[in-house]
Chain A
Amino acid sequence: MKIEVFGSENCKKCSSLKQRIDKVINESTKEAEVNKVTDIERMAKLGIMSTPTVAVDGEVKSTGEMLDEKGIKELID
């Protein structure tokens, strides 16, 4: 599974969400590659307007939300 967290370089919320996702993945049995993506052109192509946005395998699953651990689990299940 490929998880991408979209947000600008200085978006602290986006970095903390990535850390939160890393933690959930580490504690679960799932295998996933988690990356923070700052490429504006890719965000534009996906129509992303709110950050942090999370995409799983290229599909946008959550926009502009600071998901908690439960929300992340629902997203990757």
Chain B
Amino acid sequence: MVFEWIASFAVNGLGLTGRLADAAHFWIYDTLKIVFILFTVILGIGYLRTYIKPERIRDYLKGKHSIFGYLGAAALGIVSPFCSCSTIPIFIGFVGAGIPFGMIITFLFVSPMVNEAASVVLLGTLGWKITLAYIAGGVLIGVSGGFILKKLGFEKYIKEFDMASKKHIDEEISKRQRLKLATTEARDIVKQILPYVIVGVGIGAAVHGYLPEELITNYLTGPLAVPVAVLVGVPIYTNIMGVIPVVESLIGKGLPIGTSIAFMMSVAALSLPQFVMLKKVMEKKLIAAYAAIISIGILSLGLLFNLVL
């Protein structure tokens, strides 16, 4: 591939050898690959998203009570935009439209945990097995979490809003305009995420070139490693794109897949800024239950995947 060639050319050109050459090759190659995949995927999804507006999904989910409603909410959570800041307006829109509470919560669970571009980057770096585990695991936690909180009667902890719920009318825009919107979005998002990718791949490269394998196989392969991974992951607030290359290197050094996925998900799914945002739309008890279900869910997934994968 052309990125492989560029990375080798740069490493040879700089006259690097040994571990440093290995690390530098990893850094250049992975940064180029991830940025390329990101741009392509965001462009594609951004284009499709001009057809699937949240208002339209809201109209679709209204009155749905079946498992399809839950899966639909989870699917929307996956394709919802990168910035967690857009989750809250969608959430309020759903509440105002009278969409069943369990589905709204499912959306809120899946949205930060599973990300469509991250899925494609995972597919390109770590293969289909891990990608599938990541998506299915996130959807499973989301759907069951939504269902559990509904059964436990947590609906009363959502704050009330005076919400305008207009039926969505699609504006007629041309394919060319849609492509233009998607290109602007892809360019802006990639620009925003780039620093995270560069730093993340840098850390990944250091792990790849210098971290002794024995350190992982001796200390991070037992069942206790999963809770430790979640505990370390939760306070870290960064973009998931910065975490994937680190996880890629750690798996290469022998870190079990379940532990890796648990770490990756906990970094993305729970964060202080997110709680501050949620505080505006729900009471503390619901936030605590939400955080507890995500943590326990990720922990169980990690342990399960370590057993079966």
Q: Which residues of A sit under 8 angstroms from B190, Cβ to Cβ? A: none
Q: How far is the CB of A47 from chain B (nearest CB, A)?
A: 4
A3 CA / B262 CA spacing, docked (Å) = 43
**Closest residue of B by beta carbon distance from A49:** B93
Q: Which residues of B sit under 8 angstroms from A13, Cβ to Cβ? A: 83, 188-189, 192
**Closest residue of A by beta carbon distance from B274:** A10
Interface residues of B in 143-200 (CB under 8 A from A): 161-166, 180-181, 184-185, 188-189, 192
Check A65 for interface membership: any CB of B closer than 8 A. Answer: yes
Interface residues of B in 252-309 (CB under 8 A from A): 273, 277, 280-281
**Interface residues as binary, A28-68 with B (CB distance below 8 Å gives 1, 0 otherwise):** 00000000000011011111111100000000000111111
Q: Which residues of B sit under 8 angstroms from A8, Cβ to Cβ? A: 85-86, 88-89, 277
A45 CA / B88 CA spacing, docked (Å) = 14
Check B44 for interface membership: any CB of A closer than 8 A. Answer: no
Chain B contact residue count (CB 8 A cutoff): 32
Check A11 for interface membership: any CB of B closer than 8 A. Answer: yes
**Closest residue of B by beta carbon distance from A11:** B85
Are A10 and B85 interface neighbours, CB within 8 A?
Answer: yes
Q: How far is the CB of A66 from chain B (nearest CB, A)?
A: 5
Check B129 for interface membership: any CB of A closer than 8 A. Answer: no
A36 CA / B159 CA spacing, docked (Å) = 23
**Interface residues as binary, A1-36 with B (CB distance below 8 Å gives 1, 0 otherwise):** 000001111111110100000000000000000000
Q: Which residues of A sit under 8 angstroms from B277, Cβ to Cβ? A: 8, 10
Q: How far is the CB of B240 from chain A (nearest CB, A)?
A: 16
Q: How far is the CB of B117 from chain A (nearest CB, A)?
A: 15
**Closest residue of A by beta carbon distance from B161:** A44
Interface residues of B in 1-27 (CB under 8 A from A): none
Between-chain CB contacts (< 8 Å), 5 pairs: A8-B88, A10-B84, A12-B83, A50-B89, A66-B181
